Amino acid sequence: MRSTAALIPLLFAVLTTALPAQKLGYDDTPFLPGGKWRVHDSKRPQPPVMEPGPFVALPRPKDAIVLFDGTDLSKWTGRNDKASWKTESGYMEVNRTGEIRTRDNFGSCQLHVEWASPTKVKGNSQGRGNSGVFLMGRYEIQVLDCYENQTYPDGQAASLYGQEPPSLNVCRGPGQWQTYDIFFAAPRFDDQKKLVSPARVTILHNGIIVQNNAAFIGSTTHKRVGKYGAHGPGPIKLQDHGNPVRFRNIWIRKL
């Protein structure tokens, strides 16, 4: 008869062999236009990982509009016409009171956002440090803790959510501050409300270009292909996905 110690490696081998690999996305969603990948495709290649340099924030230009300076949420609104996220120590934190959005509307812009995923790691894939920055209230740049945490590529940090993965994964570790510098060109529509040119965006994540004049295929959706509908300027929106993500030093320039 084998000893208990001798059986342990055999039992471990059986259990690990039986465990299915974690599925990072979907294989039953629609195909994205003009390509071979589905929305949130589980088979899409992961962006290469590259370690960013030291934290550096772009200096705020003189003509920038300060949306959050670390002290109050007076330029934001939310549920029941009130932004109720927690504010302390120079940052605001998601607290399950719903998304918040700027009281003012914007079109083409340069937007600077600093964010940090929770120091205490909980969950994986899309359940870990999830939030988002929405331009014009409808075009999402994903916020997610992607440090040693794989997910479907078009849901990575700095992705055009559900549409275009970043070229690189340059996430810092949990709890560390990160920067998004977003250069956004609003879509244009003609008098018949038909799309003339799509929304486009260039994104620097921690100082590294990860989206270069990328086109949105439409408004952000989940598990569906986004579509355009004629619209004007809209708010900057920050998503409450239930994870205590922090934000600070948010400013914007109209272009």
Question: Superfamily assignment of 29-254 in CATH?
Answer: Exo-inulinase; domain 1 (2.60.120.560)
Q: What is the pLDDT of residues 162-220, one digit of tens each?
A: 999 999 999 999 999 999 999 999 999 999 999 999 999 999 999 999 999 999 999 99
pLDDT at 156: 96
Q: Mean pLDDT in the chain? A: 91
pLDDT at 129: 82
Q: What is the pTM of this model?
A: 0.89
Cα separation, 25 vs 17, in Å, equals 21
Tell me the mean pLDDT in the region 70-93: 95
pLDDT band (50, 70, 90) for residue 22: low
| Predicted confidence (pLDDT) at residue 16 exceeds the cutoff of 60 | no
pLDDT at 56: 92
